[in-house]
């Protein structure tokens, strides 16, 4: 793929500002969910074609299936094949008795096929892993679900499928407890969970095989039972505030640390407790934490609550959520490097939802939370617009 250098023609763009389009300037190929929203998130009645604040999505293969965390409706939506038309209805639902119901745990108690604020989702071996955030657990299906309400096979963070207390009802945490896990990633046999409320990342060296299996090591805390924000002090190269999403870029682990308004990048993949990262993006040093580095408007080097991160070709991309944009970096990275790529805004100093606080278009974003990539397609949970976008290079 060739990416061209672009000088934005908008009159209020700084003359020296250039950027490359990360995704196609023609906009999303397919829009699922809301097609006519204006500027505010409005609760939508659940159906096979609607979503309410989706925060995660995963295209398993280029021709499908597609799974979406329809977060506000407390359900997972599945399409057997890659959708081919805007607003295409889902084929499957997990978490509700049918497409017309909503409610945490289907307005009942937790089960192996219910969810409460599902957020992160990823392919996990031959199956699927879902961060079931407000049940304080991660659900794992050993095989990809291919029907309605298929129960998960394994639960992490709880002893069984019927409990959902944060940290299993204890004041402190441990290797087998969770508090608001928002992100999941599976890579070469290792499972990573962003245990957001405990301000840490849990890592299993092999895919867990039993309920409640403890993690092997932790990033973000000095000890496995600690849960202090930024380790109880100011930000450092090893501490976290709101760890949210993870990806592997050129064999390096990357974490979206939304609360510190930065991406953390390790040299390789850490294998020991509390390993410090090697650099950050979005801040000029390890101690910085302010959104947009203290400024009201963003810049090519700042971030504001980046909840998502993904890799697409040569690009390391972040869903820079509160700036309603995607930003991207290429080539060799260094501490605080400015982004070269942009999608969702007309220039780097804009943070307007849908570019002008108006209605959504195929080229605009409003509070994008999750982003994953399959082949040459980015799948974006455009949460503020109640939709999911399939958007090509």
CA gap 97, 246 in Å, rounded: 32
Decide: helix, strand or coil at residue 112.
coil
Burial class of residue 236, CB neighbours in 10 A (0-12, 13-18, 19+): middle
CA gap 251, 249 in Å, rounded: 5
- Cβ-based neighbour number of residue 126 at 10 Å: 10
Task: For tokens 């009201």, name the residue.
Answer: 296
For 215, half-sphere exposure in the C-beta direction (CA atoms, 13 angstrom radius) is: 30
Q: Choose among 334, 332, 339, 303: nearest CA to 319.
A: 303
Please tell me the predicted confidence (pLDDT) of residue 359.
Answer: 87
- Cβ-based neighbour number of residue 117 at 10 Å: 18
The DSSP secondary structure of 157-177, one letter per residue, reads: SSSSTT---GGGG-SS--TT-
CA gap 307, 305 in Å, rounded: 6
pLDDT in tens, the chain (393 residues): 333 323 232 323 344 468 899 999 999 999 999 877 654 556 689 999 999 999 999 999 999 999 999 999 999 999 999 999 999 999 999 999 999 999 999 999 999 999 999 999 999 999 999 999 999 999 999 999 999 999 999 999 999 999 999 999 999 999 999 999 999 999 999 999 999 999 999 999 999 999 999 999 999 999 999 999 999 999 999 999 999 999 999 999 999 999 999 999 999 999 999 999 999 999 999 999 999 999 999 999 999 999 999 999 889 999 999 999 999 999 889 999 999 999 999 999 999 999 987 789 999 999 999 999 999 999 999 999 999 999 998
The per-residue b/e assignment along 9-47, b for 16 or more CB within 10 angstroms, e otherwise, is eeeebeeebbbbbbbbeeebbbbbbbeebebebeebebe
Q: Choose among 107, 97, 32, 35: nearest CA to 70.
A: 32
Q: Check if the beta carbon of residue 243 is closer than 8 Å to that of residue 195.
A: yes
Q: Which domains does the chain have, with CATH numbers?
A: 15-392 (2.120.10.30)
Please tell me the predicted confidence (pLDDT) of residue 1.
Answer: 30
Q: Check if the beta carbon of residue 352 is closer than 8 Å to that of residue 342.
A: no
Q: Choose among 326, 361, 356: nearest CA to 341.
A: 326
Q: Check if the beta carbon of residue 91 is closer than 8 Å to that of residue 80.
A: yes
Burial class of residue 212, CB neighbours in 10 A (0-12, 13-18, 19+): middle
Q: Choose among 305, 292, 245, 310: nearest CA to 23.
A: 310
CA-CA distances (angstroms) from residue 340 to 6, 31, 280, 314, 375? 10, 26, 16, 12, 22
CA gap 178, 211 in Å, rounded: 13
């Amino acid at each position: 793929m060739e990416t061209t250098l672009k000088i934005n023609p908008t009159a209020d763009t700084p003359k020296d500002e250039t950027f490359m389009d990360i995704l196609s300037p023609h906009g999303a190929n397919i829009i699922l969910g809301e097609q006519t929203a204006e500027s505010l998130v409005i609760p939508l009645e659940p159906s096979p074609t609607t979503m309410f604040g989706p925060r995660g999505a995963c295209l398993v293969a280029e021709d499908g299936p597609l799974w979406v965390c329809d977060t506000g409706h407390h359900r997972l939506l599945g399409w057997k094949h890659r959708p081919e038309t805007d607003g295409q209805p889902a084929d499957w639902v997990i978490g509700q008795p049918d497409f017309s119901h909503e409610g945490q745990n289907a307005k009942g108690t937790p089960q192996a096929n219910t969810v409460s604020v599902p957020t992160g989702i990823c392919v996990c071996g031959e199956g699927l892993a879902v961060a079931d955030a407000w049940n304080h657990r991660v659900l794992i299906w050993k095989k990809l679900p291919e029907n309605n309400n298929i129960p998960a096979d394994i639960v992490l963070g709880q002893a069984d499928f019927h409990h959902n207390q944060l940290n299993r009802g204890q004041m402190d945490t441990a290797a087998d407890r969770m508090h608001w896990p928002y992100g999941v990633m599976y890579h070469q046999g290792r499972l990573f969970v962003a245990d957001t409320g405990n301000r840490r990342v849990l890592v299993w060296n092999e895919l867990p095989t039993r309920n409640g299996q403890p993690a092997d090591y932790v990033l973000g805390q000095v000890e496995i039972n600690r849960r202090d924000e930024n380790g109880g002090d100011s930000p450092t190269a090893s501490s976290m505030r709101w760890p949210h999403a993870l990806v592997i870029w050129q064999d390096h682990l990357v974490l979206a640390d939304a609360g510190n308004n930065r991406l953390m990048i390790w040299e390789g993949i850490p294998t020991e407790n509390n390993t410090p990262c090697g650099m950050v993006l979005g801040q000029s040093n390890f101690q910085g934490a302010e959104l947009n580095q203290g400024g009201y408007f963003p810049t090519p080097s700042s971030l504001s609550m980046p909840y998502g991160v993904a890799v697409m070709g040569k690009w390391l991309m972040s869903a820079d959520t509160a700036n309603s944009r995607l930003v991207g970096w290429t080539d060799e990275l260094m501490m605080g490097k400015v982004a070269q790529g942009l999608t969702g805004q007309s220039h780097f100093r804009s943070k307007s939802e849908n570019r002008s606080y108006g209605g959504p278009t195929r080229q605009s974003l409003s509070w994008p939370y999750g982003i994953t990539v399959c082949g040459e397609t980015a799948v974006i949970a455009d949460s503020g617009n109640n939709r999911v976008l399939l958007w090509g290079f």
